[in-house]
Amino acid sequence: MMKCCCEALDLLEEMLDKGNTMLVSDVGCGALCCKAALAGASLNIFVNIKLLKDKSRIIDMEAETDEMLNEYCPRADRITDEVSRRLGREV
């Protein structure tokens, strides 16, 4: 789920740059939803990896999860901020 959210945010960034200006609010809504889904999916990972016995796998999964959160949550925020700027509003 997290990887899908990251892919969606990549596409939303592209839509913000290349898409129809009438879709700008949809891009902002999509970024907000993807950020929430990304955070929610990470909670599921963090609770479920505690059941794993392989400590190295836990470390790898935590690192991958943190990496996606650290990269894509700020990107979602930048998309939302840019949409708000284009609409002349601050969220």
Instruction: Look up the domain containing 20 and give its range.
Output: 2-85
Residue 90 lies in a domain: no
Residue 75 lies in a domain: yes
Whether 35 and 73 have beta carbons less than 8 Å apart is answered as yes
Q: Model pTM?
A: 0.91
Whether 62 and 49 have beta carbons less than 8 Å apart is answered as yes
Residue holding tokens 């891009």?
27
Number of domains in the chain: 1
- The per-residue pLDDT for range 27-52, each reduced to its tens digit, is 999 999 999 999 999 999 999 998 99
Mean pLDDT of successive 10-residue stretches along the chain, which has 91 residues: 98 93 94 98 95 93 97 98 90 62
Distance of alpha carbon 57 from alpha carbon 70, whole angstroms: 20
Residue 47 lies in a domain: yes
